[in-house]
Structure 1
Amino acid sequence: MSKASSKKFFKEYLSEKKVVGAVAPSSRFLCNKMLAGIDFDQDLVIVEYGPGTGVFTDEIIKRMNSNSVLYVFELNEVFYDALAARIKDPRVKIFHDSASKAEEFLNLDNYHHADVVLSSLPLAVIPQPIKKEVMRVSEKLLADQGIYVQFQYSLNAKKLLKKHFRNMKISFTAINLPPAFVYQCSNR
């Protein structure tokens, strides 16, 4: 990640703490943990919430096969504009909209389920009604064998995620600013 990108990220964190939940872009170590349980050899419908500067987005694009699709939802205008200007892959659709609208946008393209939902949303600071709606949509959208992957800087999301998913594995990486927990959830 470039110094300019890190500066932009920190500036957005300072100005939009309810939308940007981190002081710096995610590390490659966190990225690898987030993507570890995904079989990119399969044709996948992938949904990403809150990509920020696109650390996970870029790696997903590198790893996913030619028949997979990626739907990206970013509320922050600066991050959205940067992603939309930079990413021109036809397998990727980037929306300047709420994660709670994911189902609507997928349905427009005749996708009714996602194989993977990957979230960087700062659940600790999102207002309760929005958080409930995002989780409701995510649970409904996820295919039977799908996985929901979320990172957070604490274990506070565990109770919320257990309400929506039967199975949960939690891992941790200290090599991130700040260190992070990764929740991999499913209803399998």
Structure 2
Amino acid sequence: MQFIVEFMKQPKEIGAIAPSSIYLARKMTPEKLLCDAKVVVELGAGMGHFTEEIVRKKPHGCKVIVFETNPLFSEGLAEQYRSREDVLVLLETAENLPLILRGLGIEHVDLIVSGLPFSSFEIEKANTILNGVHEVLNANGTFLAFQYSKYRKKIFERVFGSVTHERELRNLPPAYVLECRKEL
């Protein structure tokens, strides 16, 4: 119920009518990408379904940095992970990703997982976020984002070149998982 209330308040920022399913969360957090990660960033964590999977699957010593702009969601996640030194929850926008990471002494990250609703963002905002993601990914880094349509796939391709996608039907609504790799 809390999720729906927040969606009604900020539909363009929340971007979904329901929290992500466990099936989408699993697809967005593949063990093959997490097993060797040293730093993972999550953008738009919402209620934390992806966060849970990341924390469960990540290797010991891997740092997880969570960006969430909704104060209610951010506070809930901060409370949930307050005893963990390896998880940092920030009430912060993804537009500030490079700046925030530099402030934390982090130059590059291995994996970025995004629940951000790029389809509802102004194109300038979407480009700012995607360029920031590209900037902070390491040479072998991966960016995973889910979207409900392929409407904005071209903006991902402009930044990352080739973008693959996979459908997850066991989500409300069904979603596309876009996989972007940093091309040098």
Which category of TM-score, normalised to the shorter sequence, fits these structures?
Answer: over 0.9
Range moving further from structure 2, 101-110 or 63-72: 101-110
* Superposition TM-score, scaled by structure 2 size: 0.94
- Residues 48-68 of structure 1, C-alpha deviations (whole Å, 9 max, x = no match): 100000000011001111211
1:27 Cα deviation from its structure 2 partner: 0.5
Residues 1:40 and 2:12 aligned together: no
What's 1:79 paired with? 73
2:22 aligned with 1:28: yes
SS of the residue corresponding to residue 34 of structure 2 reads coil
Report the equivalent of 1:63: 57
Offset, 1:135 = 1.0
Deviations 1:114-133 (A, max 9, x none): 11111110011112222121
Q: Aligned partners of 2:32 and 2:144: how far apart in 1?
A: 10
Segments of 5+ residues of structure 1 without an aligned counterpart are: 1-6
Q: In the aligned structure 2, how far is the partner of 1:44 from the partner of 1:141?
A: 13
Letter in 1 for 2:162: N
Matched with 1:14 is 8
Show CA shifts across 1:1-58 (max 9, x none): xxxxxx1111111111121001111011111111126432214211110000000001
Q: Report which stretch shifted further, 149-158 or 108-117.
A: 108-117
Aligned pairs, number: 182
TM-score (norm 1): 0.92
Letter in 1 for 2:6: E
Q: Which residue of 2 aligns with 1:3?
A: none
| CA distance in structure 1 between the aligned counterparts of 2:118 and 2:73, rounded to whole angstroms | 18
Unaligned 5+ segments in structure 2 are: none
The separation in 2 between residues aligned to 1:132 and 1:108, in whole angstroms, is 22
Matched, 1:175 2:175: no
RMSD value, Cα: 1.3
Where do 4+ consecutive residues of structure 1 move more than 3 Å? none
Contact 2:34 2:111 in 1 (8 A): no
Q: Which structure 2 residues correspond to residues 114-129 of structure 1 after superposition, within 5 A?
A: 114-129=109-124
CA contact (8 A) 1:167 1:187 kept: no
For 1:129 and 1:170, the matched residues in 2 are separated by: 23
Distance change (3 Å), C-alpha of 1:179 and 1:106: same
The residue number in structure 2 matching 1:151 is 146
Q: Which residue of 2 aligns with 1:4?
A: none
The DSSP-based 3-state class of the residue aligned with 1:112 is coil
